[in-house]
Amino acid sequence: MTLTNEPLNSNRDIIGRDDINDLEAILAISNTDIHASISAVKDNADAIFTWDYEKGSRPKLNRLYEKAKTAMWNGETDLPWDTVVDQEAVVMANAGGNIGPESGIDISGTPMAKWSEKEWIQFGVESQNWTLSQFMHGEQGALVCTAKIVETVPWIDAKYYASTQVMDEARHVEVFAKYLDTKLTGHYPVNAHLKMLLDDIIGDSRWDMTYLGMQIMVEGLALAAFGFIHQMTTEPLLKQLLRYVMSDEARHVAFGVLSLQEYYKELDSKELRERQEFAFEAAVRMRDRFLQQEVWDRMGIAPKVAVPLVLQAPERQVFQSMLFSKIVPNCKKLGLLDAADGWLRTKFQELGVIQFEDWADTGEEYEMFALAEGEVAASGSKTA
């Protein structure tokens, strides 16, 4: 199908700049609201009652709901919070992937060239504080978005499942906040690119857009990012925490895939194109947020000096594209890659992530991520 009569939105309309990689435009966006303790966003949606209470009329969602009921863990008692975390030692053990002295990237002539080991360790510490802070803020985004889905989705099986996800997300916010407060050394405010995305997701009046923005895009990326860090980290408490969170996240992404797969079958090409544009916007915002501009600010280095160097690190490029390893196959499964003349396929090519299209989608993968029988009880310290 072609869209000859539709005015097509440009990159500038969708993401506010013509060139996806315009670093100056990306870094010009920063959080100006860092001292406020709350932030209000209009959610623009009707709360929907359904009088059709037939449980299991969507069997896959019902199965997910039943699974979620028995998969709850307790963030206070099931994690070994008595683990002693030496953050500097963790930073030194995980030093790969940045532009530090061993990376082979030429930093001569930049302020970092004068850094001693002390500054590099401090940078690693800040970077970890930043990363976990952004995860925590993203988890709160998921908490709020999923509470909105309970209200707005018209299907009873989906309302039931979403209610369990609300509990999961509360637990995720709780454990990331506790890890930051008791094991790390400082918080960062929400990154401006992440906040723009969360605001757009919450602000959209259409119920499926919450799912697309949160379950497919933000949580699809989180699942990949948590998996990467889970594999890399040598710190046993964080490893365990991420393992538990991932077992929930895989269900959440499946919830998005299973719900939207049904709904998108009813949409026409123009409506699908709107979803594609939203998915593209979300992908760009999430890629922009990973530039860690606030960490460079805090280290006293202009982000426009440091970020281009970071982007040259080979591990960095692998990490950045791996973040899309769940999103791209899930978008394909939803029919979003090739709808509307393959518009999103072209955009994912521009972003350099289309190579993941045939990787496993997350519609069923949650079974693989599930905690094994006894895994929670066997691992926690039970000291709380």
Q: Which is nearer to Fe ion, 230 or 304 (CB)?
A: 230
By CB under 5 A, residue 252 contacts Fe ion: yes
Q: Which is nearer to Fe ion, 247 or 276 (CB)?
A: 247
Q: Could you tell me which of 226, 245, 237 has the C-alpha nearest to residue 79?
A: 237
Tokens of 201: 């997701």
> Segment contacting Fe ion (CB under 5 A): 124-132, 223-231, 241-249, 273-281?
241-249
First to last CA, the chain: 59
Q: Which is nearer to Fe ion, 15 or 142 (CB)?
A: 142
By CB under 5 A, residue 172 contacts Fe ion: yes
> Least distance to Fe ion from the beta carbon of 178, Å?
14
Tokens of 53: 């209470």
Number of residues that bind Fe ion (CB under 5 A): 7
> Least distance to Fe ion from the beta carbon of 44, Å?
22
> Least distance to Fe ion from the beta carbon of 250, Å?
9
Summarize the chain as % helix, strand, coil (round to 5): 65, 0, 35
Q: Which is nearer to Fe ion, 139 or 288 (CB)?
A: 139
* Alpha carbon distance 246, 225 (integer Å): 10
Cβ pair 55, 160 in contact under 8 A? yes
In this structure, what is the dihedral angle of CA atoms 346, 361, 159, 69, given to the nearest 10 degrees? -160
> Least distance to Fe ion from the beta carbon of 58, Å?
20
Cβ pair 254, 364 in contact under 8 A? yes
Q: Which is nearer to Fe ion, 252 or 285 (CB)?
A: 252
> Least distance to Fe ion from the beta carbon of 87, Å?
23
By CB under 5 A, residue 142 contacts Fe ion: yes
> Least distance to Fe ion from the beta carbon of 202, Å?
15
Pattern 151-170, Fe ion, x by CB under 5 A: ------------------x-
Pattern 78-97, Fe ion, x by CB under 5 A: --------------------
Q: Which is nearer to Fe ion, 20 or 68 (CB)?
A: 68
> Least distance to Fe ion from the beta carbon of 143, Å?
8
Pattern 187-226, Fe ion, x by CB under 5 A: --------------------------------x-------
By CB under 5 A, residue 137 contacts Fe ion: no
> Least distance to Fe ion from the beta carbon of 255, Å?
9
Q: Which is nearer to Fe ion, 28 or 371 (CB)?
A: 371
The position carrying tokens 């909105």 is: 148
* Alpha carbon distance 164, 368 (integer Å): 19
Number of Cβ within a 10 Å radius of residue 36: 10
Q: Which is nearer to Fe ion, 123 or 179 (CB)?
A: 179
Instruction: Judge residue 23's burial from the number of C-beta atoms within 10 Å of its C-beta, 0-12 exposed, 13-18 middle, 19 or more buried.
Output: middle
**HEC secondary structure over 264-325:** HCCCCHHHHHHHHHHHHHHHHHHHHHCCCHHHHHHCCCCHHHHHHHHCCCHHHHHHHHHCCC
- The residue ranges that bind Fe ion (CB under 5 A) are 139, 142, 169, 172, 219, 249, 252
